[in-house]
Amino acid sequence: MDAKDVEGEIEKVLISAEEIDARLTEMAAEIDAYYQGEKVLLVGVLNGAVMAMADLSRKLSTPAQMDWMAVSSYGSGTKSSGVVRILKDLASDIHDVNVLIVEDIIDSGLTLSWLIANLKSREPKSLRIATVLRKPEAAKVEVHVDHVGFDIPNEFVVGYGLDYAGDYRTLPFVGTLAPHVYGG
Ligand code: PRP
């Protein structure tokens, strides 16, 4: 899927596929420099992180394994309540393992903050965070993030794993939706 397939639905491209690729290359170098050949377990947060996991993992020289978690805000359906339930837990024991959480976006930070506390309680050797996107203006909690691809404005964005009602995840770039799509 590309821009021509969603003509009129995307207002503007915020970050092109080429820009994402170039930044992920830099992030992979930062990550390799940190782990210095130690093994790392990449933990992707479903569903949004699939693109980031696939692309970032292939750029790493660090020996890496992959695991996945799926989480959901509890109850009301309002996202980012900070109360999270696990829909799918890790398949592996992370005790004494170097864990790198891979996220597509940090919005309020509430999901990540919960995830960090949850994973820390399993006593990993180390726990670090990489995200492709972060919205500093949307932060409700301060979370230390080790590797950030891009800080973006507090706008509703889709593409590169990010969806609107399940759609647009498969776009290779990050863009803003045209208001008519979401009734704006
Ligand atoms: C997105 C994203 C993060 C979370 C960030 O997931 O992948 O996990 O929201 O939001 P926060 O910082 O405000 O907590 P989402 O719940 O949309 O699920 P998805 O990845 O399946 O689309």
The dihedral built from the CA positions of residue 134, 176, 22 and 161, taken in this order, carries a sign that is positive
Q: Given 5, 89, 96, 107, which residue is catalytic?
A: 107
> Residue 182 has what pLDDT?
83
pTM of the model: 0.94
**Nearest residue to 43 via CA among 91, 80, 111:** 91
11 lines ligand 1 (CB under 6 A): no
108 lines ligand 1 (CB under 6 A): yes
- 11 band by pLDDT with thresholds 50, 70 and 90: very high
Pull the structure tokens for residue 32. Answer: 């390799």
> Residue 139 has what pLDDT?
94
Burial class for 150, CB neighbours closer than 10 Å (0-12, 13-18, 19+): middle
Higher-confidence residue: 6 or 126? 126
Which ligand 1 atom lies nearest to the CA of residue 45?
A: 8
- 78 band by pLDDT with thresholds 50, 70 and 90: very low
CA of residue 161 to ligand 1 center, whole Å: 10
**Nearest residue to 158 via CA among 105, 112, 82:** 105
Active site residue 107: yes
Which strands make up the sheet holding 147-151, listed edge to edge?
Answer: 84-88, 64-73, 40-46, 98-106, 126-134, 147-151
Tokens 């837990």 correspond to 89
CA of residue 105 to ligand 1 center, whole Å: 7
> Residue 47 has what pLDDT?
95
CA of residue 133 to ligand 1 center, whole Å: 11
User: Mind listing the pLDDT tens digit for each residue in 48-75?
Assistant: 999 999 999 999 999 999 999 999 876 5
55 lines ligand 1 (CB under 6 A): no
47 lines ligand 1 (CB under 6 A): yes
